[in-house]
């Protein structure tokens, strides 16, 4: 933050030094286009020639006017440009200073400490431990519930559903009311073609947390699959209230409307 204060002081000092000069600064003047002067002169000379041909002007007057027209080409002084308001330059300088201070203050915090050559995004979070590492931790600490939950999820993502079920069961042995293990187990049972087991797991979670979005989603899905549409609508009504940002919400809304249509609501 000391760098921010120093930079702000530099901006202020710069404005103080620049202030006497600002009153004499003019907006950049647009340079006159020489072609405009040529066009005016040619037009005036053409009018003069018409007058001579029509006999409406004295030869002496014609010579005098021709000389003036030719002399006036490119002779006009550009009009003085108005002074730019001092306030305009001050505001512009302050805006530039604020932008610079924000960049100095915010960018290091966003970028984080990084080694030379690393990207501006800073250090990325360390990769999640692999299955082998989690297995080693679980063996070393058999009662470590978070490690077993992480191992179960890793097994599930790796397609090893039976190993994931074993880990969830181990967690429930240590903590029978563990909501994460019950939800994880319920989803695997549902995918494995055991909707009744999934429903039991979801009901256990809802007995602990009646507004748990994961359990409400799963229970409604089981009931919908079993064509118990009225019950599914009841469950999903609560789900859509508490789980509007749940990842499955867009899908549930469609099934919810379909279930309501099937029961005539």
Q: Would you state the pLDDT for residue 41?
A: 58
Asked whether the beta carbons of 63 and 48 are under 8 A apart, the reply is: no
Residues 151 and 252 in one domain: yes
Q: What is the pLDDT of residues 182-214, one digit of tens each?
A: 999 999 999 999 999 999 999 999 999 999 999
Instruction: Identify the CA nearest to 142 among candidates 167, 164, 163.
Output: 167
Q: Give the tokens for residue 241.
A: 């209230």
Shared-domain flag, residues 16 and 135: no
Do residues 237 and 186 share a domain?
yes
241 and 168 assigned to the same domain: yes
Domain containing 211: what range? Answer: 131-262
| Residue at 118 is within a domain | no
Q: Is 225 helix (H, G, I), strand (E, B) or coil?
A: helix
Instruction: Count the domains in the chain.
Output: 2
Say yes or no: 99 and 164 in one domain. Answer: no
- CATH assignment of the domain containing 232: 1.25.40.10
Instruction: Determine how many CB atoms are found less than 10 A away from the CB of residue 3.
Output: 11
* Residues 81-133: tens digit of each pLDDT: 444 444 444 434 433 443 333 333 333 333 333 344 443 344 445 567 899 99
Is 123 among the domain residues?
no
pLDDT digits (tens, 9 = 90+) for 119-174: 334 444 556 789 999 999 999 999 999 999 999 999 999 999 999 999 999 999 99
The pTM for the full model equals 0.53
Instruction: Indicate whether 8 and 91 sit together in one domain.
Output: yes
Q: Is residue 83 part of a domain?
A: yes
d(CA 159, CA 142): 23
Does one domain contain both 69 and 177?
no
Residue pLDDT, tens place only, 19-67: 444 444 454 555 555 555 555 655 566 565 655 555 556 677 767 766 6
87 and 169 in a single domain? The answer is no
Domain end (from 77, 111, 145):
111
Structure tokens at 128: 């999640």
Same domain for 206 and 104, yes or no, is no
Q: Are residues 209 and 257 in the same domain?
A: yes
Give whole-number Cα distances, 20 to 13, 27, 122, 243, in Å. Answer: 13, 16, 43, 62
Residue 72 confidence class, pLDDT cut points 50, 70, 90: low
Q: Are residues 169 and 246 in the same domain?
A: yes
């Amino acid at each position: 933050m000391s760098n921010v204060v120093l930079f702000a002081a530099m901006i202020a000092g710069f404005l103080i030094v620049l202030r006497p000069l600002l009153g004499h600064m003019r907006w950049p003047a647009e340079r006159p286009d020489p072609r405009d002067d040529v066009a005016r002169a040619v037009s005036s000379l053409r009018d003069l020639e018409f007058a001579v041909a029509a006999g409406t002007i004295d030869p002496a007057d014609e010579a005098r006017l021709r000389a003036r027209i030719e002399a006036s080409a490119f002779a006009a002084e550009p009009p003085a440009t108005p002074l730019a308001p001092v306030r305009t330059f001050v505001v512009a300088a302050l805006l530039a200073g604020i932008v610079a201070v924000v960049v100095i203050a915010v960018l290091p915090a966003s970028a984080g400490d990084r080694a030379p050559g690393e990207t501006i995004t800073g250090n990325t979070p360390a990769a999640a431990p692999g299955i082998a590492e989690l297995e080693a931790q679980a063996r070393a600490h058999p009662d470590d519930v978070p490690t077993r939950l992480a191992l179960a999820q890793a097994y599930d993502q790796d397609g090893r559903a039976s190993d994931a079920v074993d880990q969830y069961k181990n967690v429930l042995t240590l903590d029978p009311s563990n909501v994460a293990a019950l939800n994880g187990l319920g989803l695997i049972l549902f995918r494995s073609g055991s909707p009744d087991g999934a429903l039991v797991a979801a009901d256990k979670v809802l007995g602990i947390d009646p507004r748990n979005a994961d359990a409400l989603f799963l229970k409604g899905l089981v009931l919908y699959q079993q064509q118990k549409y009225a019950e599914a609508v009841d469950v999903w009504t609560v789900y859509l209230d508490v789980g509007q940002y749940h990842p499955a919400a867009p899908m549930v809304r469609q099934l919810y409307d379909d279930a309501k249509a099937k029961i005539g609501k």
